């Protein structure tokens, strides 16, 4: 949502449906059958990641290039990757990155657990969403950053064929070739990181990741509920509540992506280009791009964020409706 992982956020309440009967606006944690919820949630997350992962590859390659030396934009990047490597090129680092599905379980559990605690404290639903979203991202990023580091190195290895001598896109010196499998490349990347930096190397850019994704997650949930409340207020009662939630997710993704884009670029460069600190990364980014740094790779991130948010919310909220306990089913509005 990555990057990524979700839960419903507004407080339980009633509203008007077509037949004016009360409905549960939010399916809370204690209303669901967890044995149904977790397997279906992981399957949904994996399916969405399979479909939309090429956008992550495109976004990452656009972020780490120098100005526009390699690609002129999102479409140009996609065409060049496809022409040189085919479909596999758009899935570089996929299997390593797919470990995020496991971190998503911890993300959801943390999010819902914090929301439940704050609900008992009487907090408002937007405050619950803001705090719980930040806590969930903190847990999720702690688990997933090492896999992010490896997968992003794998993603940019294919850029060398397009960039020529203009950029150092293989700072680890990984040997590439047509006969090498993606698994072997991932192992080589892991061994080289461990040899050069020790275990700490797998957490390169961890602080930048937290600074990029913790506010992103917190704001996404807060905006998600803000947009959901406003859409529920202005939309006719016959409009699907699930559609309103999906649209609110996309709008929340758009808003947070625009706000946090420079931080995400710094995170990607720290992890791939092995820069010394966030300050150095910011200085280099500003020297190269100036004000354009706020828009570098933004189109790919916006498309990725909107598509991920809509798809994840669609899958997640559908699964919550399927997993809800029997006594609440008559109060659920689709």
User: Does residue 16 lie within any of the structural domains?
Assistant: no
User: Does residue 17 lie within any of the structural domains?
Assistant: no
How many domains does one find in the chain?
1
Q: How many residues does the chain have?
A: 334
User: Does residue 19 lie within any of the structural domains?
Assistant: no
- Residue 163 confidence (pLDDT): 54
- Residue 108 confidence (pLDDT): 82
Q: Name the nearest CA neighbour of 301 among 214, 213, 223.
A: 213
Task: Report residue 328 as tokens.
Answer: 């609440």
- Residue 151 confidence (pLDDT): 78
CA distance 167 to 110: 41
User: Does residue 104 lie within any of the structural domains?
Assistant: yes
CB 272 within 8 A of CB 279: no
User: Does residue 211 lie within any of the structural domains?
Assistant: yes
CA distance 290 to 42: 40
Q: What is the pLDDT along the chain (334 residues), one digit of tens a residue?
A: 433 333 333 333 333 334 444 677 777 778 888 888 888 888 887 888 888 888 888 877 777 776 666 777 788 888 888 888 888 888 877 877 777 777 777 888 888 888 888 888 877 777 888 888 889 888 888 888 888 778 777 777 766 555 554 455 566 666 666 556 667 777 778 888 888 877 777 787 677 778 778 888 888 888 988 898 899 888 888 888 899 999 999 999 888 888 877 777 777 776 666 666 667 777 777 777 776 666 666 777 788 788 888 888 888 888 888 888 888 888 787 8
CATH of the domain at 299: 1.50.40.10
Alpha helical stretches, state H, 21-174:
34-64, 74-85, 94-97, 100-120, 125-156, 160-163
User: Does residue 8 lie within any of the structural domains?
Assistant: no
User: Does residue 167 lie within any of the structural domains?
Assistant: yes
User: Does residue 66 lie within any of the structural domains?
Assistant: yes
CA distance 62 to 274: 17
CA distance 249 to 228: 8
CA distance 41 to 46: 9
Task: Report residue 19 as tokens.
Answer: 């037949």
Q: Name the nearest CA neighbour of 301 among 289, 290, 309.
A: 309
CA distance 325 to 307: 29
CB 264 within 8 A of CB 293: no
CA distance 95 to 334: 34
How much is the pTM?
0.68
Q: Name the nearest CA neighbour of 302 among 261, 245, 241.
A: 261
- Residue 173 confidence (pLDDT): 62
Domain residues for the domain of 155 are 29-331
* Chain centre distance of CA 73: 21
> Which residues pair with residue 332 across a beta bridge?
24
CB 19 within 8 A of CB 312: no
């Amino acid at each position: 949502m990555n990057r990524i992982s979700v839960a419903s956020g507004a407080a339980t309440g009633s509203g008007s449906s077509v037949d004016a009967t009360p409905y549960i606006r939010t399916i809370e944690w204690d209303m669901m059958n967890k044995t149904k919820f977790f397997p279906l949630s992981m399957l949904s997350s994996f399916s969405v990641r399979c479909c939309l992962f090429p956008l992550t590859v495109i976004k990452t390659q656009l972020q780490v290039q120098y100005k526009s030396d390699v690609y002129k934009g999102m479409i140009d990047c996609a065409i060049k990757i496809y022409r040189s490597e085919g479909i596999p090129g758009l899935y570089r680092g996929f299997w390593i990155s797919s470990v995020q599905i496991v971190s998503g379980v911890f993300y959801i559990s943390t999010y819902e657990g914090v929301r439940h605690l704050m609900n008992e404290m009487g907090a408002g639903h937007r405050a619950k969403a803001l705090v719980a979203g930040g806590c969930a991202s903190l847990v999720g990023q702690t688990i997933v950053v090492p896999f992010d580091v490896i997968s992003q190195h794998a993603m940019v290895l294919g850029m060398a064929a397009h960039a020529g001598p203009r950029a150092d896109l293989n700072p680890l010196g990984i040997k590439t070739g047509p006969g090498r499998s993606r698994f072997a490349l991932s192992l080589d990347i892991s061994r080289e990181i461990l040899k050069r930096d020790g275990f700490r190397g797998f957490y390169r850019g961890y602080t930048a990741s937290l600074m990029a994704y913790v506010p992103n997650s917190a704001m996404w949930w807060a905006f998600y509920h803000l947009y959901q409340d406003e859409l529920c207020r202005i939309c006719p009662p016959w409009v699907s509540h699930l559609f309103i939630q999906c649209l609110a997710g996309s709008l929340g993704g758009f808003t947070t992506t625009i706000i946090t884009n420079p931080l995400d670029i710094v995170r990607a460069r720290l992890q791939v280009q092995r820069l010394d600190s966030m300050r150095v990364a910011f200085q280099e980014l500003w020297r190269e791009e100036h004000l354009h740094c706020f828009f570098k790779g933004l189109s790919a991130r916006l498309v990725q964020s909107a598509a991920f948010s809509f798809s994840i919310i669609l899958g997640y909220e559908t699964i919550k409706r399927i997993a809800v306990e029997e006594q609440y089913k008559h109060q659920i509005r689709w």
